[in-house]
C-alpha cells in the first residue's frame, strides 16, 4: 500500500521526467531521483521496485489520456474527436520525447513495458476507430496506409517541433489528418 500522497507522487514523476529529459535513461538513477526529490532510495524502490517501473509510471501519468471509445459515424469525425480530447495547454518537451525514444530503442524491456502500459491502450482506441471505418466501407480493408495511421498522426508532430521549433496543437494534427492521412486511406475531406 502506498504511503505517498498523490501530490508527492506527481512531484516524483515530474522529477523523474525532468531527469530523463536532461540526462537520458542510462544516466538516470534512483539515487538521482531521490536526491532531486529529497526522498529516500528505499521509498522509491518500495513504491516502484525498479528504475524502469518508475520511468514507465511517470510517462504513463504524464501521457495524454484518450477517450476509451468514440463513434461519430465517420473516420474523420472519430479521429478529430480523439485529437480534440488531447490537452490544449500541453507543453511537450522534445528532449523528453527523444529520451523516451532512445531509451526504448536501447532497452527492449523498457520498450515492452512502455508499450504495454502507455502505448498499447491508446493505439487500441485508434485501431478500433479504423476497424469501424472499414466495417462502414469508408476504408478498404487492404489499404496499405492502415498500419501507418498512428505513426502518421504522431510522427509529424514530434518532427515538426524538433525541426521547426513550432508547437503542434490540435490544429496541426487535424491538418496532417486532412492533408496526408485521410487521402492515403482513400477518403476525400470536405
pLDDT number for residue 88:
60
Quick: pLDDT tens for 99-131. Answer: 999 999 999 999 999 999 988 988 999 999 999
pLDDT number for residue 95:
80
Q: What is the CA radius of gyration of the chain?
A: 19
Burial per residue of 45-70, b for 16 or more beta-carbon CB atoms within 10 angstroms, e otherwise: eebbeebbbbbbbbbbbbeeebeeeb
Q: Which three three-digit cell numbers place residue 136? A: 462502414
Q: Which residues of the chain have pLDDT under 50?
A: 1
Q: How far apart are CA 30 and CA 3, in angstroms?
A: 18
Domains located in the chain, CATH noted: 6-60 (1.10.10.60), 63-184 (1.10.357.10)
Q: Which three three-digit cell numbers place residue 98? A: 527523444
pLDDT number for residue 1:
46
> Which pTM does this prediction carry?
0.80
Quick: pLDDT tens for 76-87. Answer: 999 999 988 876
Q: How far apart are CA 166 and CA 162, in angstroms?
A: 8
CA distances 26 to 12, 153, 167, 182, Å, are 18, 29, 28, 39
CA distances 67 to 86, 122, 158, Å, are 9, 9, 22
Amino acid at each position: 500500500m502506498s504511503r505517498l500522497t498523490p501530490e508527492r507522487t506527481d512531484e516524483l514523476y515530474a522529477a523523474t521526467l525532468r531527469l530523463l529529459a536532461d540526462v537520458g535513461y542510462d544516466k538516470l538513477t534512483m539515487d538521482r531521483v531521490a536526491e532531486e526529490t529529497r526522498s529516500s532510495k528505499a521509498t522509491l524502490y518500495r513504491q516502484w521496485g525498479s528504475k524502469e517501473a518508475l520511468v514507465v509510471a511517470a510517462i504513463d501519468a504524464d501521457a495524454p489520456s484518450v477517450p476509451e471509445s468514440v463513434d461519430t459515424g465517420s473516420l474523420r469525425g472519430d479521429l478529430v474527436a480523439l485529437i480534440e480530447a488531447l490537452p490544449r495547454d500541453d507543453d511537450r518537451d522534445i528532449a523528453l520525447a527523444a529520451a523516451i525514444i532512445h531509451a526504448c530503442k536501447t532497452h527492449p524491456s523498457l520498450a515492452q513495458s512502455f508499450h504495454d502500459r502507455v502505448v498499447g491502450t491508446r493505439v487500441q482506441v485508434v485501431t478500433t476507430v479504423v476497424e469501424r471505418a472499414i466495417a462502414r466501407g469508408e476504408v478498404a480493408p487492404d489499404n496499405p496506409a492502415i498500419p501507418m495511421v498512428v505513426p502518421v498522426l504522431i510522427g509529424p508532430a514530434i518532427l515538426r517541433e524538433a525541426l521547426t521549433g513550432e508547437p503542434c496543437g490540435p490544429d496541426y494534427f487535424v491538418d496532417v489528418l486532412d492533408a496526408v492521412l485521410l487521402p492515403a486511406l482513400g477518403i476525400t475531406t470536405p
